[in-house]
Structure 1
Amino acid sequence: MKNKRLVYPIIVSEYNDDGHYFVATSPNIPGMVTQGETLSEVAYWAEDAIATMIAGEDYPTPQDPTDWSLKQNERVIFVSVNMSQWLKRHSKTVRKNITIPDYLNDWAVENNVNVSRVTTEALMKLADI
């Protein structure tokens, strides 16, 4: 998996009812809603929300926002989502049994080498992650 960076436009609505905050939605990602107290914060949470919703799926093609009708309190911002990095940070680990030569196991134990870490790093290199 190469570095998969996606850029999605989102609609950010600004509210001043129970305080000042921003809410983000995306016509590209139906059902995606998140919020933050600042534009920076809402963009951060939108990245996470988009990645969460599209992980394990074909990535939707970003829409052109020029035809979107916006309300007075709305604006379009673009959110960059690096799916490779996000998946690395949010992947659960699985237990795998591997077979290695006895002498390498002895060497790893004597040198405090974490075989799981070394294996993970080698696989990430092969996968170009």
Structure 2
Amino acid sequence: MIVSYPAVFYKLEDGAYSVAFPDFGVATHGEDLEDATRMAIECLASRIKCLKEYDEEIPKPTLDLNLVEVDEKDGEDDYIEATKQIITVDVEEYARKHFDKSVKKNLTIPKWMNDLALELNINFSKTLQDALLDEINRKRREIAIDEE
């Protein structure tokens, strides 16, 4: 499924870019234009993939860039310039290469733990993935609390 959606690239004073997708109300950023473009493609692919997975409606793209609104500047530390651009991505292909790809990891556990887990038919990969996801979410909550 190839999709195209408008994005607004906001150039910041430090040379970084903030990228907004008005049709979705989501945004991303990059250290420079190349990085921001890469991140915009990832953001769009992940948003569409997520909407499809939860059977939510995918909004129709606003392909007329003249209809895409740019946020008003509201202070001294705001963006320098804004540029509208259409971002296109093959969602399934991108997901296959970047989201759904598994990587092999080696780990070391005590023999007694291995033996007992095998005896209980525990799926090692699923258990590790679940534990890692729990730990990732816990760390993200800690970081969010620290930033407040």
Q: Same fold (TM over 0.5)?
A: yes
Shift of 1:92: 6.3
SS of residue paired to 2:7: strand
Unpaired segments ≥5 residues, structure 1: 94-129
From 41, 50, 67, the equivalent of 2:44 is 50
Percentage of pairs with the same residue: 17
Q: Match for residue 23 of structure 2?
A: 28
Superposed, 1:1-129 pairs within 5 Å as 4-16=1-13, 19-30=14-25, 32-56=26-50, 57=52, 58-63=57-62, 64-70=64-70, 73-89=81-97, 90-91=99-100
The normalised TM-score by structure 1 is 0.59
Q: Distance in 1 between matches of 2:90 and 2:3?
A: 6
Identify which range, 38-47 or 53-62, moves more after superposition: 53-62
Aligned length, in residue pairs? 87
SS of corresponding position for 1:11: strand
SS of the aligned residue for 2:58 comes to coil
Higher relative contact order (CA 8 A, sep 6+): 1
| Larger proportion of helix | 2
Q: Deviations over 1:2-61 (max 9, x none)?
A: xx1111110010110xx221100011112x211112222111101111111121424322
Query: 1:29–1:50: 8 Å Cα contact kept in structure 2?
Result: no
The one-letter amino acid of 1:81's match is V
SS in 1 for 2:39: helix
Structure 1 stretches of 4+ with a deviation exceeding 6 A read none
TM-score, normalised to structure 2, is 0.52
Residue identity opposite 1:21 in structure 2:
A
RMSD of equivalent CA atoms: 2.0
Separation in 2, partners of 1:82, 1:54: 10
